[in-house]
Amino acid sequence: MNNPLRYRGRTFYQSGYQRDERSGREFTTLQVVSNTGWMIPYVSCMIVGVGMAYQFVLTLLRFLNRSRRSAGVETPLKSRLLPATAAPPGGAAKWLPLAITLLAVAYVGSKARPMSVKTGQMDYAAFAKLPLAYEGRVKPFDSLARNSLLILSGKQEYKDAEGRKQPAIRWLLDVISGKSDSRKLNVFRITNLELLKILKLEPREGFTYCVDDFADRMPEFVEALQSVENVPKESLTVYQRSVRDLGQHIMLYRTLMEAFDPPIADFPTEEEFQKDPEAAGKAARQSLMQTMQEAQRIEDAQVPLAIPMPEAGDSAETKTTGNWLPFASAAARAYLQRQIATDPKTGKPFEIPQQTVLMQQMLSAWRTDDVAKFNDAVREYTGWLKSHKFEQLNLNKVRFEAFFNQFAPFYWSMVLCLFVFILSAFGWLGFTEPMRRSAFWLMAFTFVVHTFALVARIYISGRPPVTNLYSTGIFIGWAVVLFGLVCEWFYRLGVGNAVASIAGFITLGISHFLAEGGDTFTVLEAVLDTQFWLATHVVTINLGYAATAAAGLFGVYYILYALSPRPKAEVGRAVTRMTYGSLCFAILFSFIGTVLGGLWADDSWGRFWGWDPKENGALIIVLWNCLVLHAKWDGMVKDRGLAVLSALGIIAVSWSWFGTNQLGAGLHAYGFTNAARIGLFVTWALSLVVSGLGCLVKKSEI
């Protein structure tokens, strides 16, 4: 966001904005910095970058020259990397990987089928692809339905009265169309027994309850809610947190209803007008005012905006809602216009926007189970959208997002990672080569799915791959899987498969868990909204995390392998080379990434390095990688020591990735989760135990 002004030794940055609500006066805060040497970090960064790149290329060339000199039939690289036992694949080693991969492709492919409904039924699948604007971006109804249901119940599906699984969009349609059945759907997940007692509810399987279950206990609940209102977030007990969460969930539910429920006040009837025109006129004016006010209030309330208004101009009124309106206020305005009949400005009759009418038809048809009317209205509305193009709506993107939701490629990647790990594990027991090859090709397919998902997210969000904590998970996972696959491709020992599958499973699992907060395509704080830095700093630093984590996992593998019954020395050496290679990547990416982060800060508020916890975390990773590499260069550690130190590096990564966020807020902090704390403790304990094992074993075989 910042385009700092540099003048006579001082630099002015935009830093803050305040608005006095009473006077409406606006204030700006400028950060004014005088720092003579502000260019030094830029130069240093590039000097180090050039030096590292030179060293990198030089080593590569030397490596190539060396292999060129050593003439041989076998390619030198391969001969050095491949274990002597590797026989040309044949038999089971050939057809098993093919069969397994094809099976996986077929299965995942079947999941990639777009959602569809049988003819003669309500075409909610088509409705799910219609656009709306909410929480800062345009998305399909499907996303709103899934994310809302996920927040309320922790799932993207629900069970209807007959106990059949149903897609979220049906629930959303029930809610927004005001169908009375929607009050009977069990979608509120309440697990706290104390809270259940207040609501006079019995614990039941799944702990999901419907609106009617607790509607009559609202006064008691509101009381409970008020008592937790002023408790600071950090000191909430489990019960208090449940109360607060349920309060927020009910608010979300109400927001959804409100956004689609036109707030039309009662207008006097024709008869009343005839009886007493004056009183009726007064009442009508009052109703008009009331409706207008309510419509305005809903527009200000940041609710889902379902009605596109391509003609809406850029004015103070449309500042928040842009070219969109909530259906509630659009319908209310349409209703009022029909009451007034003619536009006082132009003198012509008002034209009710067609999109509002169609949305109204869809909702009422859904409410009355009118299949033909619903499907016609959806079709007609889709056609209307196609013929009315405007900047804030990219219909293809919205429809693609609905497909992406339905496909859930990250979920399938996670599942596939688990299978890869199982295959790798079986490979250690016997039948090694066919299993290893199967694991590799399945992992490769998983990587394709994962990559597709990552690219899909970039397309949908229009941003570089990493923008929030959720996306760091999927990106770091992707990078570690890539490292693992490359290592497997070169070394063919099954190590890469194991590391890639474990890392993929854990990181995607973490992300899956983080996604329960709702929409994962979140908007960014103003200062962070710079594509350039997102594309450079954030990507690089996360690659640094990934490489350090990969090195750590290779280290863990080395230690565990050395403990196994009959370890082979050449495998140990190969794993060491993988560890070392990952470390070299790690230092390159983490150093450059950290410095770029500093440059971002310098460019945003004139402070290259602020010793902020997240920055310090990144610095610790850099320092740790430096320590490990220098210890190796000095010969202080050999293969086993390198493995032990690398395994400890996992602590540094997890500290920087999640630990610093736990310490408190700050620009970089993403939230407080108890699970993260436990996860961190477990990670650190495991990492310490494995490193300890590596140190304790006196003289391993390799």
Q: Which stretch binds other proteins (CB under 8 A): 100-108, 218-226, 344-352, 624-632?
A: 624-632
Residues 374-433 close enough to bind other proteins by CB under 8 A:
392
For other proteins, which residue of 427, 434, 477, 606 counts as binding (CB under 8 A)?
606
Would you list the DSSP string of 530-548?
-HHHIIIIIHHHHHHHHHH
In angstroms, rounded to a whole number, what is the distance separating the alpha carbons of residues 586 and 599?
Answer: 20
Q: From the CB of 270, what's the least distance to other proteins, in Å?
A: 38
Torsion over CA: 423, 424, 429, 433 (sign): positive
212, 184 Cβ separation under 8 angstroms: yes
Residues 321-340 close enough to bind other proteins by CB under 8 A:
321-322, 324
Q: From the CB of 305, what's the least distance to other proteins, in Å?
A: 5
CA distance readout (Å), 688 to 315, 468, 558:
59, 29, 15
For other proteins, which residue of 202, 311, 611, 699 counts as binding (CB under 8 A)?
611
Q: Is 517 in the site for other proteins (CB under 8 A)?
A: no
Phi/psi zone of residue 347: left (φ > 0), alpha (ψ -120 to 50 degrees), beta?
A: left
Residue type, 182: S
Q: From the CB of 670, what's the least distance to other proteins, in Å?
A: 13
Q: From the CB of 589, what's the least distance to other proteins, in Å?
A: 10
For other proteins, which is the closer residue by CB, 32 or 688?
Answer: 32
End-to-end CA distance of the chain: 55
For other proteins, which is the closer residue by CB, 310 or 322?
Answer: 322
Q: Which stretch binds other proteins (CB under 8 A): 432-440, 445-453, 494-502, 623-631?
A: 623-631
Q: From the CB of 2, what's the least distance to other proteins, in Å?
A: 7
Residues 287-316 close enough to bind other proteins by CB under 8 A:
302, 304-305
Burial class (CB in 10 A: 0-12, 13-18, 19+), 535: middle
Q: Is 1 in the site for other proteins (CB under 8 A)?
A: yes
For other proteins, which is the closer residue by CB, 239 or 672?
Answer: 672
Q: Is 7 in the site for other proteins (CB under 8 A)?
A: yes
In angstroms, rounded to a whole number, what is the distance separating the alpha carbons of residues 325 and 303?
Answer: 9
Q: From the CB of 373, what's the least distance to other proteins, in Å?
A: 29
Q: From the CB of 144, what's the least distance to other proteins, in Å?
A: 12
Q: Which stretch binds other proteins (CB under 8 A): 10-18, 345-353, 423-431, 464-472?
A: 10-18
In angstroms, rounded to a whole number, what is the distance separating the alpha carbons of residues 529 and 523?
Answer: 9
In angstroms, rounded to a whole number, what is the distance separating the alpha carbons of residues 700 and 105?
Answer: 42
242, 290 Cβ separation under 8 angstroms: no
Which x/- pattern, by CB under 8 A, does the window 32-71 give for other proteins? xxxxxxxxxxxxxxxxxxxxxxxxx-xxx--xx--xx--x
For other proteins, which is the closer residue by CB, 3 or 119?
Answer: 3
Q: Is 103 in the site for other proteins (CB under 8 A)?
A: no
Residue with tokens 């498969």: 497
Residues 427-466 close enough to bind other proteins by CB under 8 A:
none
Residues 663-682 close enough to bind other proteins by CB under 8 A:
663-667, 669, 672, 677, 680-681
493, 557 Cβ separation under 8 angstroms: no
Structure tokens at 474: 């999927």
For 523, what's the count of Cα atoms within 13 Å in the CB-facing half-sphere?
10
Beta bridge partners of 386: none
Q: Which stretch binds other proteins (CB under 8 A): 204-212, 282-290, 504-512, 522-530?
A: 522-530
Residue type, 413: S
SS3 state at 381: helix
Torsion over CA: 98, 100, 105, 107 (sign): positive
427, 439 Cβ separation under 8 angstroms: yes
Residue type, 464: P
Residues 552-591 close enough to bind other proteins by CB under 8 A:
580, 584-585, 587-588
In angstroms, rounded to a whole number, what is the distance separating the alpha carbons of residues 606 and 3?
Answer: 11
The torsion defined by the Cα of 1, 134, 165 and 245, in degrees rounded to 10, comes to 80
For other proteins, which residue of 468, 607, 673, 688 counts as binding (CB under 8 A)?
607
For other proteins, which is the closer residue by CB, 509 or 666?
Answer: 666
Residues 230-249 close enough to bind other proteins by CB under 8 A:
234
In angstroms, rounded to a whole number, what is the distance separating the alpha carbons of residues 591 and 51?
Answer: 13
* Count of positions on this chain that bind other proteins (CB under 8 A): 128
For other proteins, which residue of 187, 599, 642, 650 counts as binding (CB under 8 A)?
599
Residues 107-166 close enough to bind other proteins by CB under 8 A:
133-138
Q: Which stretch binds other proteins (CB under 8 A): 215-223, 370-378, 527-535, 691-699?
A: 527-535
In angstroms, rounded to a whole number, what is the distance separating the alpha carbons of residues 363 and 182?
Answer: 13
In angstroms, rounded to a whole number, what is the distance separating the alpha carbons of residues 249 and 702?
Answer: 57
For other proteins, which residue of 548, 660, 687, 700 counts as binding (CB under 8 A)?
660
Question: Would you give the distance in Å from CA 62 to the centre of its chain?
Answer: 42
- The angle, 0 to 180 degrees and rounded to 10, between the axes of the packed helices 639-654 and 539-563 is 140
For other proteins, which residue of 6, 113, 338, 389 counts as binding (CB under 8 A)?
6
For other proteins, which residue of 530, 567, 570, 701 counts as binding (CB under 8 A)?
530
For other proteins, which is the closer residue by CB, 450 or 537?
Answer: 537
In angstroms, rounded to a whole number, what is the distance separating the alpha carbons of residues 165 and 57?
Answer: 56
Q: Is 75 in the site for other proteins (CB under 8 A)?
A: yes
Structure tokens at 83: 């274990």
For other proteins, which is the closer residue by CB, 366 or 478?
Answer: 478
For other proteins, which residue of 168, 453, 574, 620 counts as binding (CB under 8 A)?
620
For other proteins, which residue of 634, 696, 698, 699 counts as binding (CB under 8 A)?
634
For other proteins, which is the closer residue by CB, 42 or 513?
Answer: 42
For other proteins, which is the closer residue by CB, 512 or 668?
Answer: 668
Q: From the CB of 478, what's the least distance to other proteins, in Å?
A: 16
Structure tokens at 543: 């690659």
